[in-house]
Amino acid sequence: MGRVTSRTPVLRIRGPQHTTRPDTVAAEEPLEIRLNGTPLAVTMRTPGDDFDLVHGFLATEGVIHGSDDVAGLRYCDSVDADGRNTYNVVDVDLAPGVPIPDTGLERNFYTSSSCGVCGKASIDAIRTKTSYDVAGDRVRLPLEVLLALPDRLRAAQQVFDKTGGLHAAGLFTAAGELLALREDVGRHNAVDKVVGDGVREGRLPLAAHVLMVSGRASFELTQKAAMAGIPVLAAVSAPSSLAVELAREVGITLVGFLRGDGCNVYTHTERIQLAPEN
């Protein structure tokens, strides 16, 4: 398995003090996903929880709908110059009857750690593609629980403490219980890893749950939440215009700038239970 972090020498400048010292940085390596031996996608990710990542990616792309759609998966023999397995290629055997997607119809399945689903901008396509009634989810989220999520997410980020360079995604209950947390150089990978954990545990759809992310709320993260049946997406930073439009269309409560004692709720505000005013 590839390393989550690596060490590199840096020139450290702090005012008048200049020192050379080793520093820890987040690892970033390619992961190629194959279906029945045929290349499907390449994503730049932080090694670790790769099988969760693959399950989540396939689920949020609509290739699979649950763990039963996967007959098996394994690391292929991709080797480096020294003949060691890089663990950077995963081959998935789909269950009988599960169709292999035609990647040429929609987009190239290459994603970078910052890109996600670049080139896929059809809100109508996502709204009709998801199998779950997100809009019908009647979960209610107390405001005090919502405001506590960033600190709970941050407290669980072990690799971030070492590198300062990883995104995080956490799946919470409406009571604020953290069920799964994953870190990655790519925000969309972190979400796929969380969703993939739910797929492998047979918990999809992730109804009545909150997806909390450490960065911004982009279109691709909103799409992934919709495909997993998650009714509330909360982000520390800002949403994009397409994220707001998609959330409104599919029925997701989209929260941005969630920090301290405040936030902005952009769509489906009825799910947030405000404290009674004095």
The tokens describing 14, both together, are: 């702090």
Contacts for 97 with CB less than 8 Å, ≥ 6 apart? none
CA distance linking residue 251 with residue 253, whole number of Å: 7
CA distance linking residue 263 with residue 271, whole number of Å: 14
Active-site annotation holds for 115? yes
- Choosing from 76, 115, 118, 263, the catalytic residue is 115
The tokens describing 199, both together, are: 């797929």
The tokens describing 219, both together, are: 């279109």
- In 3D space, the residue among 59, 56, 61 whose CA is nearest the CA of residue 109 turns out to be 61
Contact 222, 254 (CB under 8 A): yes
**Location of structure tokens 């990655």:** 184
- In 3D space, the residue among 146, 101, 112, 120 whose CA is nearest the CA of residue 222 turns out to be 120
Helices 187-200 and 219-228, interaxial angle, to 10°?
0
Active site residues: 115
